Structure 1
Amino acid sequence: MSGLTPEQTERVVELAMDLAREGKTAELLEFLDHGLPVDAQDGQGNSLLMLAAYHGHAETVRALAGRGADVDLANGRGQSPIAGAIFKGEDEVVSALVEAGADLDTGTPSARETAQMFGRTDLLP
């Protein structure tokens, strides 16, 4: 992404965040292929993986994790992707994150605490 102005870089990140929210995996991976960091974050600290997880896109989560995304990268409020997926009831995403090695004790609240709050401890190993 070298050669872009700060405004252009910000717009590229915004577009990529939208692709993550929408689960448009192939298009999102093209952004990564052209230099977007896999752990890019928006103004609230949400990563691409966080947004894909929160919006229930397990395929996108797997693709980002496969590209080296930090599965434990918390947003600006200290929330982890796996805790967000548990909160939203995204069972397939939770499974994908567990498979990718997500830390169940990171974030505030942690995935374990979130699972207990919502009676979903069955999702966790």
Structure 2
Amino acid sequence: MHDSPHGKDAIFDAARRGDLATLKQLIAAGVNLNITDARGFTPLIYTCYEGHLEACRLLLEDTGVDIDAQDAGGNTALMGVAFKGNTDIAELLLEQGANPDLQNATGSTALMFACMFGRTPMIRLLSERGANKSLTDARGLRAYDLALQQGNQEALQYLQ
């Protein structure tokens, strides 16, 4: 059942739903947790993006999951939660070693996503955890520039 189509469909379905019981069964059966779908999403990317903290925690428990796996656009689980503003999952990912400075296909980082979408608590968390504020995206913009475009004065204090 490692990479069978049934196992692949089941793992993505369970990941999207945050179905802990099914995830535990699939992990025990040896399903490849680094498998990707057509968009390059891994089960971890799905669980994080959908906000399933306990499922994320389960997938990160000694399972060999690539915490920094990038989808077809170069986005990581951390970028997804930065976009959504889920600081609990971001904190878990950072504690488990997620790299906040990876850049996607357009050069965006998790910090940049947080700035683009006005996620001030996420900006604070990523800044406090050492995210590189000097990186630029494909347009030459830094996180500070993106927060400035949004008029987010509170965020700017974390980005200086």
- What range is the shorter-chain TM-score in? 0.7 to 0.9
Instruction: State how far apart, in whole Å, the 1-side matches of 2:16 and 2:10 are.
Output: 10
Do residues 22 (structure 1) and 21 (structure 2) align?
Answer: no
**Aligned ranges 1:1-125 → 2 under 5 Å:** 1=1, 9-66=4-61, 67-108=63-104, 109-119=108-118, 120=120, 121-124=123-126, 125=129
- Which of 1 and 2 has greater Rg? 2
Structure-2 separation of matches of 1:63 and 1:39: 14
Give ranges in structure 2 of 5+ residues lacking alignment.
Answer: 130-160
Q: Would you say how many aligned residue pairs link Structure 1 and Structure 2?
A: 120
Q: 1:8-52 deviations in whole A, cap 9, x for unaligned? A: x12321121010011112311211211211212112110000000
Q: Which runs of 5+ in 1 are unaligned?
A: none
Give RMSD over aligned pairs.
1.6
Shift of 1:117: 2.1
- Separation in structure 2 between the aligned mates of residue 30 and residue 63 of structure 1, nearest angstrom: 12
Letter of the 1:16 counterpart: I
Identity of aligned residues (%): 31
- Give me the TM-score of the superposition, normalised by structure 1: 0.87
Is the 2:68–2:76 contact (alpha carbons within 8 Å) kept by the matching residues of 1?
A: yes
Deviates more, 1:115-124 or 1:88-97: 115-124
Q: Partners of 2:6 and 2:109 in 1: how far apart?
A: 31
